[in-house]
Amino acid sequence: MALRTAGSVLVVFLWSVAVVLGQDGWSVKYTTQSICVLKGSTVELTCSYTYPSGYTVTTTFWFTKYNAVGPVSLSDDPDYKGRVTYRKDKENEHTLTITDLRESDSATYKFRFTDQTGKWRYTGEPGVTLSVTESGLQVKVTGGHQDKTLTCSTTCTLTDNPTYIWYKNGQHLDESTSPQYKDPVSSNYEDSYSCAVKGHEDLHSPAVCVQGQDCNRVSYTKRTICALKGSSVNISCTYFSLYNITSSLWFSPKQSDSWRDELIPEDLTTDPGYAGRVEFVGEKERGQSTVRITDLREEDSAEYKFIFNTQTSRWGHSFPGTTLTVTDLQVKVTPATEAGKRTLTCITTCTLTDNPTYIWYQNGHKVKEDSSSLDSDSFSDADSYSCAVKGHEDLLSPAECQKCWSVTYTHQSICALKGTTVDISCSYTYPSYHEIKKAFWFTKWSGRDPEDLSSVPGYEGHIEYLGDKESDCTLRITDLRLSDSAGYRFRLITSGEMVAGSPVSLTVSDVVLEMDPTSVSERENVTLRCRTNCTLDPITVYSWYKNGQPIPNNNTSSPVYILFSVSSEDTGRYSCSVEGHEDLPSAEETLTVTYGPKNTSVSVSPSGDIVEGSSVTLTCSSDANPPVDKYTWYKKNVTSPKASGQSYSITNISSEDRGEYYCEASNIKGTETSIPVHI
């Protein structure tokens, strides 16, 4: 018997007396009678069975419940949907595996088998009693005001005397076979403690404060999430800080190789692999944060963490985060049993979160809901079958078929730039005794019939069918327009049947530059973000432009370009484009940099020698944004101003006017004084 979690295996050797009950050669032997396991983990229950010679066993299963007919196999029990597998290890040995254990799984499990006649049915008594800890692990704090005793507590005694691991502020502290931490704890108000069982480090207890109710900590709503490729996921946490938080962010340790400093996490929103796919849903109240990742890809499978920074420290980096696993759907055909029965199962690489409802499609039409499997009474080799999860009907599995009808797309959703060309790759199968009459693509129906795109106004010269009459049904759309965003479906009509594939979602986007802020003072930072309304695949390289000219050495795989400590020279019009489509740049955004007067100077007219009794005009010039709104004139060693305005004229000049004159230029950003000129 073994307990398992993702990425680790904890083998539990059970030397308890085997349970053997039987009559006349019929018997079931269980490895153990009872077991206690952690919520969220995986358990295996094993048995062996015997029966008299001359019989053939055709049906084997485990159960906990009965209905009007008899015992209900766990594989048909909706409470265990997607979490149960049976395995025949060797002859007459059978193993039940249950993943993502829940408190409701606590029950007595029994094994049952039936012979080929159906007359002999045998159930092994008394079965195996499984106890799943309610709420997993909990840290209990007891003791006086100063010294506290910590105990890693469960609602039942875990099997096989496990090793407990202790953490302080998320950092590994100690290991012991005792559930009680070895030393009394005298902690300050900042520290939090948590525990785990070795081999199940991903199933931490919640962090608890030792002194008082509040301490620095980060706790995640879900420690593990399994989500469908192409869907969206929300990852949430709660946090608390004893000090003022200066900043916070979400990150994935998996991306540390791309950080500028591998010890300093960087925000997911700046990671090119997540470009345009990450957003903060918002903090409805202080102490809660949620990050949303859209258009999930298999490479998004990773651990995600939240950290917050104070003026003196960073918290959350060492706390265990939420592990996300991204899976696609596949239809698996089980081999035929001795009775000739087969099963179609909608499988994933992990157990989907929130116990989803499965939907089955036959030749693209919905035929069944609720069950993750179809038995051989419900399908035939002449048809194609695919499955989806309710709420994500656009994310169908590839069709499974043999001598059947099918339409299969390389991509179920496509993102493309306005003005470019896209190929919607497609293949199909049909029975060889049929003759193809017509094949076409459509997006809309006209009454009960789909409208062939080639006859729809506006698509002439805009689409091209690249397929053939054998297996290829690829569609090309050129000079994409925003209005081309739609669900595209292929339809095949033969001499005896017609079939249509599920829709391919095409989203056409232009390139948009977002500038934040658009008006700044000198020495402030400006963030430019190049985005599209959908996620381009593969990851693109972005080019940046100022006043229509490329910014040197700034082609980057990141959709974010930051202007640090801007100056007046950074004022201008900015745009961006995607590599390979430089002819399709974004609309320009203008950056305005405000600054106080600079390069303030005085000019004298007329120039040259000045004759007594003549006139002279002094003019003040200055570079400023916004423009100078006040000029003031001074004569050196004279306290009061001589005049105001950009120009200062001295008429009927005399020897008393001899001296050094200068101007002071001012706007809302500052003031600057010119170098004096001698009159």
- Among candidate residues 537, 559, 587, the one where a domain is terminated: 587
> What's the predicted TM-score (pTM) here?
0.58
How far are the Cα atoms of 106, 418, 559, 593, 626 from residue 574, in angstroms, in the given order? Answer: 62, 20, 14, 13, 20
Supply the pLDDT for residue 526. 93
**Same structural domain for residues 385 and 439?**
no
The values of phi and psi at residue 80, to 5°, are: -110, 15
Q: Please tell me whether residues 104 and 194 are part of one structural domain.
A: no
Which residues touch 555 (CB under 8 Å, ≥6 apart)? Answer: 541, 542, 543, 544, 579
Residue 399 lies inside a defined structural domain of this protein: no
396 assigned to some structural domain: no
Q: Are 374 and 360 in contact (CB under 8 A)?
A: yes
Tell me the per-residue pLDDT of 534-545, one tens digit each, with 9 for 90 and over.
888 766 788 899
Q: Where is pLDDT greater, at 207 or 588?
A: 588
Distance, CA of 129 to CA of 33 (rounded, Å): 6
The last residue of a domain, from among 471, 506, 541: 506
Domain total of the chain: 7
Question: Based on the domain organization, do 524 and 486 belong to the same domain?
Answer: no
- Structural domain of residue 670, as residue ranges? 595-678
Render pLDDT for 402-411 as a digit per residue (tens, 0 to 9): 667 778 888 8
Using CA atoms, how far apart are residues 598 and 256, in angstroms rounded to an integer? 43
Please report, for residues 44, 136, 279, the alpha-carbon distance to residue 2 in angstroms, rounded to integers and kept in the order given. Answer: 5, 18, 40
The per-residue DSSP string of 612-653 comes to TT--EEEEEEEEEESPP-EEEEEETT--S--EESSEEEE-S-
Say what the pLDDT of residue 346 is.
Answer: 85
Instruction: Please give the mean pLDDT across all residues of the chain.
Output: 84
DSSP codes joined into one string, 186-226: ---TT-EEEEEETT-TTSPPPPEESSSS--SEEEES-SEEE
Residue 288 domain-assigned?
yes
Q: Are 570 and 524 in contact (CB under 8 A)?
A: no
Query: Do 416 and 358 belong together in one domain?
Result: no
Span 556-563, average pLDDT = 80
The answer to whether residues 113 and 89 belong to one domain is: yes
Contact criterion met (CB below 8 Å) for 550 and 544: yes
Same domain, 250 and 321: yes
Please indicate, yes or no, if residue 437 is contained in any of the structural domains.
yes
Looking at the fold, whether 239 and 320 belong to one and the same domain comes out as: yes
Q: What is the mean pLDDT of residues 63-69?
A: 88
Judgement on whether residues 99 and 147 belong to the same structural domain of the protein: no
Helix (H) or strand (E) holding 166: strand 164-168
Query: With contact defined as beta carbons under 8 Å apart, do 350 and 325 qualify?
Result: yes
User: What is the model's pLDDT at position 304?
Assistant: 94
The answer on pLDDT for 400 being more than 70 is yes
Residues 640, 666 contacting (CB under 8 angstroms)? no
CATH of the domain at 189: 2.60.40.10
Residue 400 within any structural domain of the chain:
no
Among 400, 472, 412, residue whose Cα is nearest residue 436: 472
Q: Is the pLDDT of residue 334 over 80?
A: no
Q: Are residues 12 and 83 in the same domain?
A: yes
Tell me if 395 is assigned to some domain: no
Domain annotation covers residue 397: no
User: How many residues in the chain?
Assistant: 679
pLDDT at 584 > cutoff 80: yes
User: Has residue 394 been placed in a domain?
Assistant: no
Please check whether residues 87 and 114 belong to one and the same domain.
yes
- Taking Cα atoms as reference points, which of 273, 326, 323 lies closest to residue 296? 326
What are the angstrom distances between the C-alpha of 227 and each of 39, 85, 232, 295? Answer: 20, 20, 8, 11
| Together in a domain, 320 and 338 | no
Q: Last residue of some domain: 309, 326, 343?
A: 326
pLDDT of residue 397: 86
pLDDT surpassing 50 at residue 1: no
Same domain, yes or no, for 77 and 97?
yes
Would you state the structure tokens that stand for residue 397, as one six-digit string? 């599995």
